[in-house]
Amino acid sequence: MMILVLLLLSVTLVTGVTPVSVIIVGAGMSGISAAKQLQDAGIHDFLILEATNRIGGRIHKTQFGGHAIEKGANWLHGVGGLEKNPMFEIAKTIKLKNYYSDFSNVSLNTYKQEGGLYPKEEVETALSKAESNEKFGTEFAKTLTDNKLVDDDMSLLAVERLNHMEPKTPLERMIDFYSFDGEQAEAPRVTSLKHILPRPEFTLYGEGEYFVADERGFEGIVHEIVKTRLAYKDGRVIDARLYYNKVLLLSVDLVNGLFKSVSLFISQFRKIRNSILNISRRE
């Protein structure tokens, strides 16, 4: 997950626009969800700075052969458990087309670099290693403290080595890639065990997985969240609080491992002092 930075500013933002309490960096699902929470809580004086000219971040469709296909998120993970998955509920509300798809056919559809299919049994063996690593890691994570700030963590790669199942062959590494790198947007050697296992989407919402195949794209969910809360027209947020093509550059001085001072530079804004910084850790 992208680091979402909420800056609670104790000073007036000298921008030529109304002072704000909160700046949200990034209009991906996290940023949009933060805006929704603020709006629903009656806090309306926020800004969203988005580096690109669109919302959705890694939820992003494109056109291929005359149809919308996903460049990023495609599966609604975690359905059918005791708690309702809010994303799945929105998908139902807007009738976003989706199909049950739990990866069980992967062993029949895995291709070699040089062409041709891998034998089913070979893929199943590699898959069972990845599953073993996830199971081992999930159990191991229970021995670590729940306090995410206490540093008793380890990388997923360390877990794989402890489990004597470090992926080695191209097939094992490919399955490791889609099991972990693809899900976490970072490699097992830098992925924190206790922040990702057990996987909360499944423990909270159930084991079901659904593949979105809809011309509106997975991003239809993001747009549904935003369109009743921010000014919105013709499929685009036109709210004055959302700045497209604005990149936040943050410089932080670290002394003895602590934040000493934070300077915030935004191209059109002046330097701001005395801000309170609240950074959510990668989950």
Return d(Cα 151, Cα 194) in angstroms, integer. Answer: 10
Per-residue DSSP letter, 244: T
Q: Least CB distance from residue 55 to ligand FAD, whole Å?
A: 7
Q: Least CB distance from residue 212 to ligand FAD, whole Å?
A: 8
For ligand FAD, which is the closer residue by CB, 118 or 243? Answer: 243
Residue 265 contacts by C-beta under 8 Å, 6 or more apart in sequence?
249, 250, 251, 271
Task: Judge residue 26's burial from the number of C-beta atoms within 10 Å of its C-beta, 0-12 exposed, 13-18 middle, 19 or more buried.
Answer: buried
**Vertex 86 angle, CA 96 and 281, to 5°:** 120
Query: Which one of 6, 9, 38, 73 is in contact with ligand FAD (CB under 6 A)?
Result: 73
Q: What are phi and psi of 124, to 5 degrees?
A: -65, -35
Q: What are phi and psi of 146, to 5 degrees?
A: -70, -20
For ligand FAD, which is the closer residue by CB, 51 or 279? Answer: 51
Of residues 190 through 249, those in contact with ligand FAD by CB under 6 A are 247-248
Q: Least CB distance from residue 258 to ligand FAD, whole Å?
A: 23
For ligand FAD, which is the closer residue by CB, 27 or 123? Answer: 27
- Cα distances from 150 to residues 156, 255, 267, in angstroms, run 17, 20, 36
Query: Which span sits near ligand FAD by CB under 6 A: 12-20, 37-45, 53-61, 160-168?
Result: 53-61
Query: Which one of 74, 101, 155, 163 is in contact with ligand FAD (CB under 6 A)?
Result: 74
Residues in contact with ligand FAD by CB under 6 A are: 1-2, 25-31, 49-52, 57-59, 72-75, 77, 182, 185, 247-248
